[in-house]
Amino acid sequence: MREMSGQNRFAFALILLSLLLAGCSTQASSKYFGKNNVPKNNVLRYISGSEPESLDPQVGTGQPEARIYTALYDGLVEFHPKTMEPIPSIAESWEVSKDGTEYLFKLRKDAKFSNGDPITANDFVYSFRRALKPELLAKNAYLAYPIKYAEPYNAKKSFVKGADGKFLVKSDFESPDAKVEESPDEKVEKDKDGSGSQATTDNFGADTETHRFLDEPERLAVPSDKESLDALVKDKPKLKAAVESGELVPVTEEHLGVEAVDDFTFRLKLFQPAPYFVGLLTHQFFRVIHKGTIEKYGKDWVKPGNIVTSGTFKLVDHKPYDEVVVTKDPNNWDAENVRLDGIEFYPMDEATSMMNIYKYGGVDAVYNHVPPAAWNDQIKQFKSEYLNFPEVAIEYYTFNVTKPPMDNVKVRKAFSLAIDRDALETFRRTTKTLVDFTPEGIFPKYEEARTKVYTELLKKQGSSLEEWRARKFDPEKARKLLEEAGYPVKGSTGNYSCPDFPINDVALLYNTSESNKDVAEFIQAQWNQNLGITVPLKNMEWKTFLNVRKELAYKGMGRAGWVGDYMDPYTFLALFYTENNDSSTGWYDPKYDKMLDDANKEIDPQKRFEMLAQAEFYLMQHQPVAPLQTQATNWMKKPYVKGMYPNPGTLHPWKFVYIEPDESKWTQNAEDIMKISDPSVDQHVDRLMASQTSVEDKAKRSDAATKKSGE
Partner 1 sequence: MINFIIRRLLLVIPMALIAVTVTWGLIRIAPGNFYSSEKKLPPAIEKNIREKYGLDKSWIEQYGIMMWNVMKLDFGESLKFEGQSVNGMIARHFPYSATIGILAYILALIIGLTAGIIAALKQNSYFDYGSMALAMLGLSVPSFVLGPLLVLVFALWLYILPPARWGGISFLVLPVVTLSASYAAYIARLTRAGMLEVMRSDYIRTARAKGLDEKTVLLKHGLRGGIIPVVSFTGPALASLLAGTIVVEKVFAIPGLGNIFIQAVLNRDEPVILGIVAFLSILVMLFNLAVDISYGFLDPRIRYE
Residues of this chain that interact with partner 1 (CB under 8 A) are 1, 19, 22-23, 26, 34-35, 50-51, 53-54, 56, 59, 61, 134-135, 137, 139, 141-142, 151, 154-157, 223, 228, 299-300, 302-303, 319-322, 346, 348-350, 352-354, 356-357, 359-362, 541-548, 550, 562, 580-582
Nearer to partner 1, 44 or 104 (CB): 44
For residue 136, with 0-12 CB atoms within 10 Å meaning exposed, 13-18 middle and 19 or more buried, which class applies?
Answer: middle
Q: What one-character DSSP code corresponds to residue 220?
A: P
For residue 703, with 0-12 CB atoms within 10 Å meaning exposed, 13-18 middle and 19 or more buried, which class applies?
Answer: exposed
CB-based contact 566:279 (threshold 8 Å):
yes
Nearer to partner 1, 10 or 321 (CB): 321
Nearest distance, CB of residue 318 and partner 1, angstroms: 11
The alpha-helical segments, DSSP class H, found in 350-408 are 351-360, 376-379
Helix (H, G, I), strand (E, B) or coil at 166: coil
Nearest distance, CB of residue 227 and partner 1, angstroms: 10
Nearest distance, CB of residue 61 and partner 1, angstroms: 7
Which residue type, as a one-letter code, is found at position 695? V
Nearer to partner 1, 88 or 624 (CB): 624
Distance CA 48, CA 321 (A): 11
- Count CB-CB contacts under 10 A for residue 523: 25
Nearer to partner 1, 134 or 441 (CB): 134
The alpha-helical segments, DSSP class H, found in 311-443 are 351-360, 376-379, 409-417, 421-428
Which residue type, as a one-letter code, is found at position 163? A
Nearest distance, CB of residue 347 and partner 1, angstroms: 8
Distance CA 262, CA 88 (A): 19
Nearest distance, CB of residue 471 and partner 1, angstroms: 26
Nearer to partner 1, 54 or 702 (CB): 54
Distance CA 636, CA 638 (A): 7
Nearer to partner 1, 223 or 556 (CB): 223
Which run of H or of E encompasses 452?
Answer: helix 444-460
Nearer to partner 1, 369 or 471 (CB): 369
Distance CA 521, CA 534 (A): 10
Nearest distance, CB of residue 509 and partner 1, angstroms: 13
Nearest distance, CB of residue 19 and partner 1, angstroms: 6
Nearest distance, CB of residue 547 and partner 1, angstroms: 4
**CA 246 and chain centroid, separation:** 41
DSSP string over 505-523: G-EEEEES-HHHHHHHHHH
Nearer to partner 1, 157 or 472 (CB): 157
Nearest distance, CB of residue 528 and partner 1, angstroms: 29
Which run of H or of E encompasses 266?
Answer: strand 265-269
Which run of H or of E encompasses 105?
Answer: strand 102-107
Nearest distance, CB of residue 133 and partner 1, angstroms: 10
Nearer to partner 1, 153 or 389 (CB): 153
Nearest distance, CB of residue 218 and partner 1, angstroms: 18
Q: What string of H, E and C letters represents the secondary structure of 461-480?
A: CCCCHHHHHHHHCCHHHHHH
Sign for the pseudo-dihedral over CA of 28, 33, 39, 42: negative
Nearer to partner 1, 82 or 129 (CB): 129
Nearest distance, CB of residue 415 and partner 1, angstroms: 23
Which residue type, as a one-letter code, is found at position 98? K
Nearest distance, CB of residue 607 and partner 1, angstroms: 29
CB-based contact 79:67 (threshold 8 Å):
no
Distance CA 254, CA 639 (A): 50
Nearest distance, CB of residue 573 and partner 1, angstroms: 15
Residues with Cβ < 8 Å from 650, sequence gap 6 or more?
Answer: 367, 368, 391, 633, 635
Nearer to partner 1, 49 or 646 (CB): 49
For residue 11, with 0-12 CB atoms within 10 Å meaning exposed, 13-18 middle and 19 or more buried, which class applies?
Answer: exposed
Nearer to partner 1, 248 or 548 (CB): 548
* CA neighbor of 426 nearest in space, from 350, 339, 526: 526
Nearest distance, CB of residue 66 and partner 1, angstroms: 14
- The answer to whether the bond into 627 is cis (omega within 30° of 0) is no
* CA neighbor of 627 nearest in space, from 397, 443, 455: 397
Distances (CA, A) of 95 to 90, 120, 143, 303: 15, 18, 21, 37
- Read off φ and ψ for residue 137, nearest 5 degrees: 55, 40
How many CA atoms lie less than 13 Å away from 256 in the CB half-sphere? Answer: 30
Rounding to the nearest 10 degrees, give the CA dihedral for residues 594, 597, 600, 601.
-100
Nearest distance, CB of residue 155 and partner 1, angstroms: 3
Nearest distance, CB of residue 52 and partner 1, angstroms: 8
For residue 98, with 0-12 CB atoms within 10 Å meaning exposed, 13-18 middle and 19 or more buried, which class applies?
Answer: exposed
Nearer to partner 1, 93 or 158 (CB): 158
Nearest distance, CB of residue 511 and partner 1, angstroms: 10
Nearer to partner 1, 136 or 603 (CB): 136
* CA neighbor of 430 nearest in space, from 650, 642, 658: 650
Nearer to partner 1, 345 or 658 (CB): 345
